[in-house]
Protein backbone atom coordinates (compact mmCIF):
# COMPACT_ATOMS: atom_id res chain seq x y z
CA UNK A 1 0.00 0.00 0.00
CA UNK A 2 1.26 3.47 -0.85
CA UNK A 3 1.88 5.28 2.51
CA UNK A 4 0.52 8.43 0.94
CA UNK A 5 -2.86 6.84 0.28
CA UNK A 6 -5.30 7.22 3.15
CA UNK A 7 -7.96 4.53 3.46
CA UNK A 8 -11.16 5.83 5.07
CA UNK A 9 -11.42 4.80 8.70
CA UNK A 10 -7.93 3.21 8.80
CA UNK A 11 -6.06 4.75 11.73
CA UNK A 12 -2.80 2.96 10.94
CA UNK A 13 -2.89 4.29 7.37
CA UNK A 14 -3.32 7.75 8.88
CA UNK A 15 -0.19 7.21 10.96
CA UNK A 16 1.72 6.05 7.88
CA UNK A 17 0.60 9.15 5.97
CA UNK A 18 2.21 11.32 8.64
CA UNK A 19 5.28 9.02 8.84
CA UNK A 20 4.48 7.94 12.38
CA UNK A 21 5.29 4.35 13.35
CA UNK A 22 2.72 2.81 15.73
CA UNK A 23 5.47 0.77 17.42
CA UNK A 24 8.80 2.67 17.26
CA UNK A 25 11.75 0.51 16.11
CA UNK A 26 15.18 1.43 17.44
CA UNK A 27 17.89 -1.08 16.44
CA UNK A 28 20.60 -1.69 19.00
CA UNK A 29 23.74 -3.82 19.09
CA UNK A 30 23.15 -4.65 22.73
CA UNK A 31 19.83 -4.78 24.54
CA UNK A 32 19.00 -4.35 28.23
CA UNK A 33 17.39 -7.14 30.21
CA UNK A 34 13.77 -7.03 29.14
CA UNK A 35 10.75 -6.99 31.38
CA UNK A 36 8.54 -9.96 30.52
CA UNK A 37 4.86 -10.49 31.28
CA UNK A 38 3.50 -14.03 31.50
CA UNK A 39 1.16 -16.08 31.72
CA UNK A 40 -2.19 -15.62 29.92
CA UNK A 41 -4.91 -17.96 28.67
CA UNK A 42 -8.50 -18.07 27.48
CA UNK A 43 -11.17 -20.73 27.25
CA UNK A 44 -14.81 -21.05 26.37
CA UNK A 45 -17.23 -21.58 29.24
CA UNK A 46 -21.00 -21.99 29.23
CA UNK A 47 -21.70 -18.24 29.04
CA UNK A 48 -18.96 -17.04 26.69
CA UNK A 49 -15.16 -16.69 26.88
CA UNK A 50 -13.04 -16.26 30.00
CA UNK A 51 -9.64 -14.61 29.53
CA UNK A 52 -7.17 -14.47 32.42
CA UNK A 53 -3.57 -13.77 33.31
CA UNK A 54 -1.36 -13.66 36.36
CA UNK A 55 0.04 -10.30 37.45
CA UNK A 56 3.78 -10.99 37.59
CA UNK A 57 6.37 -9.25 35.44
CA UNK A 58 10.00 -10.37 35.52
CA UNK A 59 13.37 -9.18 34.17
CA UNK A 60 15.74 -12.11 34.08
CA UNK A 61 15.63 -13.65 37.54
CA UNK A 62 14.20 -10.48 39.12
CA UNK A 63 10.51 -10.07 39.96
CA UNK A 64 9.69 -6.54 38.80
CA UNK A 65 6.11 -6.41 40.07
CA UNK A 66 3.10 -8.56 40.90
CA UNK A 67 0.60 -5.88 39.90
CA UNK A 68 0.49 -5.99 36.08
CA UNK A 69 -2.88 -6.25 34.35
CA UNK A 70 -2.24 -8.41 31.28
CA UNK A 71 -5.84 -8.64 30.03
CA UNK A 72 -6.88 -5.37 28.39
CA UNK A 73 -10.30 -4.24 27.22
CA UNK A 74 -9.73 -2.86 23.72
CA UNK A 75 -13.36 -1.86 23.19
CA UNK A 76 -16.79 -2.98 24.38
CA UNK A 77 -16.55 -6.27 22.44
CA UNK A 78 -12.80 -7.03 22.31
CA UNK A 79 -10.16 -8.31 24.74
CA UNK A 80 -6.38 -8.54 24.38
CA UNK A 81 -4.15 -10.67 26.62
CA UNK A 82 -0.43 -9.91 26.49
CA UNK A 83 2.50 -12.29 26.84
CA UNK A 84 5.97 -10.96 26.15
CA UNK A 85 7.45 -7.48 26.56
CA UNK A 86 4.86 -5.22 28.26
CA UNK A 87 6.24 -1.96 26.82
CA UNK A 88 5.63 -3.17 23.26
CA UNK A 89 2.37 -4.97 24.08
CA UNK A 90 0.84 -1.99 25.89
CA UNK A 91 1.72 0.27 22.96
CA UNK A 92 0.00 -2.18 20.60
CA UNK A 93 -3.06 -2.16 22.85
CA UNK A 94 -3.21 1.66 22.80
CA UNK A 95 -2.91 1.71 19.01
CA UNK A 96 -5.71 -0.85 18.68
CA UNK A 97 -7.95 1.07 21.09
CA UNK A 98 -7.47 4.27 19.11
CA UNK A 99 -7.78 2.51 15.75
CA UNK A 100 -11.07 0.79 16.61
CA UNK A 101 -12.54 3.96 18.04
CA UNK A 102 -11.31 6.04 15.08
CA UNK A 103 -13.04 3.67 12.67
CA UNK A 104 -16.26 3.63 14.72
CA UNK A 105 -16.49 7.41 14.78
CA UNK A 106 -15.40 8.04 11.19
CA UNK A 107 -17.50 5.28 9.61
CA UNK A 108 -20.42 5.38 12.07
CA UNK A 109 -20.21 1.62 12.61
CA UNK A 110 -17.90 -0.73 14.52
CA UNK A 111 -15.00 -2.52 12.87
CA UNK A 112 -15.77 -6.14 11.95
CA UNK A 113 -14.17 -8.98 13.90
CA UNK A 114 -12.02 -10.20 10.93
CA UNK A 115 -10.71 -6.64 10.49
CA UNK A 116 -9.86 -6.40 14.20
CA UNK A 117 -8.01 -9.72 14.05
CA UNK A 118 -5.99 -8.53 11.02
CA UNK A 119 -5.22 -5.19 12.69
CA UNK A 120 -3.37 -6.95 15.51
CA UNK A 121 -1.57 -9.22 13.02
CA UNK A 122 -0.43 -6.10 11.16
CA UNK A 123 1.05 -4.57 14.31
CA UNK A 124 2.93 -7.78 15.04
CA UNK A 125 4.35 -7.87 11.50
CA UNK A 126 5.45 -4.26 11.81
CA UNK A 127 7.25 -5.25 15.01
CA UNK A 128 9.21 -7.94 13.09
CA UNK A 129 12.61 -6.12 13.18
CA UNK A 130 12.45 -5.95 16.98
CA UNK A 131 11.28 -9.56 17.18
CA UNK A 132 14.19 -10.74 14.99
CA UNK A 133 16.60 -8.91 17.31
CA UNK A 134 15.12 -10.81 20.24
CA UNK A 135 13.67 -7.69 21.86
CA UNK A 136 10.08 -6.47 21.95
CA UNK A 137 8.69 -9.98 21.38
CA UNK A 138 4.91 -10.26 21.92
CA UNK A 139 2.70 -13.37 21.55
CA UNK A 140 -0.81 -12.13 22.38
CA UNK A 141 -4.28 -13.63 22.61
CA UNK A 142 -7.36 -11.88 21.26
CA UNK A 143 -11.07 -12.41 21.83
CA UNK A 144 -13.87 -10.66 19.98
CA UNK A 145 -17.55 -10.97 19.17
CA UNK A 146 -18.70 -12.40 15.87
CA UNK A 147 -21.75 -10.21 15.29
CA UNK A 148 -22.68 -11.86 11.99
CA UNK A 149 -24.61 -14.50 13.98
CA UNK A 150 -27.42 -14.08 16.50
CA UNK A 151 -26.79 -14.03 19.36
CA UNK A 152 -23.27 -12.69 18.87
CA UNK A 153 -20.68 -15.41 19.54
CA UNK A 154 -17.30 -14.81 21.25
CA UNK A 155 -14.29 -16.09 19.31
CA UNK A 156 -10.72 -16.71 20.53
CA UNK A 157 -7.59 -16.10 18.43
CA UNK A 158 -3.91 -16.53 19.12
CA UNK A 159 -0.79 -15.27 17.31
CA UNK A 160 2.84 -16.11 16.94
CA UNK A 161 5.39 -13.26 17.37
CA UNK A 162 5.65 -12.87 13.58
CA UNK A 163 1.97 -12.03 13.16
CA UNK A 164 0.47 -15.33 12.03
CA UNK A 165 -3.09 -15.62 13.37
CA UNK A 166 -4.99 -18.74 14.35
CA UNK A 167 -8.51 -19.28 15.61
CA UNK A 168 -8.85 -21.43 18.72
CA UNK A 169 -11.85 -23.69 19.12
CA UNK A 170 -12.02 -24.21 22.89
CA UNK A 171 -8.95 -22.87 24.69
CA UNK A 172 -5.49 -21.37 24.25
CA UNK A 173 -2.58 -20.17 26.39
CA UNK A 174 0.56 -18.09 25.89
CA UNK A 175 3.63 -17.28 27.93
CA UNK A 176 6.11 -19.21 30.02
CA UNK A 177 3.46 -21.05 32.04
CA UNK A 178 1.32 -21.90 29.02
CA UNK A 179 2.55 -25.48 28.66
CA UNK A 180 1.24 -26.47 32.08
CA UNK A 181 -2.04 -24.61 31.57
CA UNK A 182 -2.68 -26.13 28.12
CA UNK A 183 -2.01 -29.60 29.53
CA UNK A 184 -4.54 -29.16 32.34
CA UNK A 185 -7.09 -27.60 29.99
CA UNK A 186 -6.66 -30.48 27.53
CA UNK A 187 -7.10 -33.07 30.28
CA UNK A 188 -10.17 -31.34 31.68
CA UNK A 189 -11.75 -30.96 28.24
CA UNK A 190 -11.23 -34.62 27.35
CA UNK A 191 -11.73 -36.40 30.67
CA UNK A 192 -13.01 -33.91 33.26
CA UNK A 193 -16.51 -33.22 34.46
CA UNK A 194 -17.64 -30.61 33.87
CA UNK A 195 -15.58 -29.75 30.82
CA UNK A 196 -14.46 -26.07 30.67
CA UNK A 197 -16.99 -25.37 27.91
CA UNK A 198 -19.77 -26.62 30.22
CA UNK A 199 -18.74 -24.67 33.33
CA UNK A 200 -20.94 -21.99 34.81
CA UNK A 201 -19.42 -18.66 35.87
CA UNK A 202 -18.39 -19.64 39.42
CA UNK A 203 -16.87 -22.93 38.27
CA UNK A 204 -15.01 -21.25 35.39
CA UNK A 205 -13.47 -18.53 37.58
CA UNK A 206 -12.43 -21.04 40.25
CA UNK A 207 -10.92 -23.29 37.59
CA UNK A 208 -8.99 -20.36 36.06
CA UNK A 209 -7.53 -19.41 39.44
CA UNK A 210 -6.48 -23.00 40.10
CA UNK A 211 -4.83 -23.16 36.67
CA UNK A 212 -2.59 -20.24 37.65
CA UNK A 213 -1.86 -21.83 41.02
CA UNK A 214 -0.67 -25.01 39.28
CA UNK A 215 1.33 -23.10 36.65
CA UNK A 216 3.15 -21.11 39.35
CA UNK A 217 4.38 -24.34 40.94
CA UNK A 218 6.33 -25.22 37.78
CA UNK A 219 7.21 -21.77 36.42
CA UNK A 220 8.87 -19.07 38.52
CA UNK A 221 7.81 -16.35 36.05
CA UNK A 222 4.13 -17.08 36.71
CA UNK A 223 2.89 -15.21 39.77
CA UNK A 224 -0.02 -17.49 40.50
CA UNK A 225 -2.77 -16.74 43.02
CA UNK A 226 -2.33 -16.38 46.76
CA UNK A 227 -5.42 -15.38 48.80
CA UNK A 228 -3.25 -14.99 51.94
CA UNK A 229 -1.42 -12.04 50.35
CA UNK A 230 -4.47 -10.79 48.41
CA UNK A 231 -2.76 -11.71 45.14
CA UNK A 232 -5.31 -12.58 42.48
CA UNK A 233 -5.47 -12.72 38.70
CA UNK A 234 -6.78 -10.38 36.04
CA UNK A 235 -9.95 -12.05 34.75
CA UNK A 236 -12.32 -10.67 32.14
CA UNK A 237 -15.32 -12.25 30.47
CA UNK A 238 -16.59 -11.77 26.93
CA UNK A 239 -20.26 -12.63 26.52
CA UNK A 240 -22.68 -11.87 23.72
CA UNK A 241 -23.58 -8.72 25.67
CA UNK A 242 -19.97 -7.49 25.89
CA UNK A 243 -17.03 -7.35 28.32
CA UNK A 244 -17.21 -7.84 32.08
CA UNK A 245 -14.43 -7.79 34.71
CA UNK A 246 -14.15 -10.14 37.70
CA UNK A 247 -12.84 -8.20 40.72
CA UNK A 248 -10.42 -9.49 43.36
CA UNK A 249 -13.28 -9.62 45.84
CA UNK A 250 -15.36 -11.74 43.47
CA UNK A 251 -12.40 -14.04 42.84
CA UNK A 252 -11.95 -14.51 46.58
CA UNK A 253 -15.61 -15.44 46.90
CA UNK A 254 -15.49 -17.94 44.04
CA UNK A 255 -12.43 -19.64 45.55
CA UNK A 256 -14.42 -20.35 48.72
CA UNK A 257 -17.28 -22.07 46.87
User: Catalytic positions, please?
Assistant: 38
CA dist 205 → 41, 64, 121, 200, 255 (Å): 12, 26, 29, 9, 8
The span from the CA of 34 to the CA of 85, in Å, is 7
Which residues contact residue 249 at a Cβ distance below 8 angstroms, ignoring those fewer than 6 apart?
Answer: none
The span from the CA of 43 to the CA of 57, in Å, is 23
**Please, which residues bridge with residue 144 across strands?**
78, 155
Contact 255, 228 (CB under 8 A): no
Chain-centroid distance, C-alpha 6 = 29
- Residue 194: CB atoms within 10 A of its CB come to 14
**Please, which residues bridge with residue 211 across strands?**
none
Contact 82, 90 (CB under 8 A): yes
**Please, which residues bridge with residue 78 across strands?**
75, 144
Q: Is 136 left (phi over 0), alpha (psi -120 to 50) or beta?
A: left
Alpha helices in 42-112 (DSSP H): 86-107
Amino acid sequence: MNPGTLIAGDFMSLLATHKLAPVPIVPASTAPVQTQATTVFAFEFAEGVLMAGDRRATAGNVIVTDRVDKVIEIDATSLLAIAGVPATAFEMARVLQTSFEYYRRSQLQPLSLPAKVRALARLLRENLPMTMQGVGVVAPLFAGLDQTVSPAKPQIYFYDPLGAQFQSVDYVASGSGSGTIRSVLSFQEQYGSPRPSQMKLGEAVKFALRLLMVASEFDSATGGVNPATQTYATIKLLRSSGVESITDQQQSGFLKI
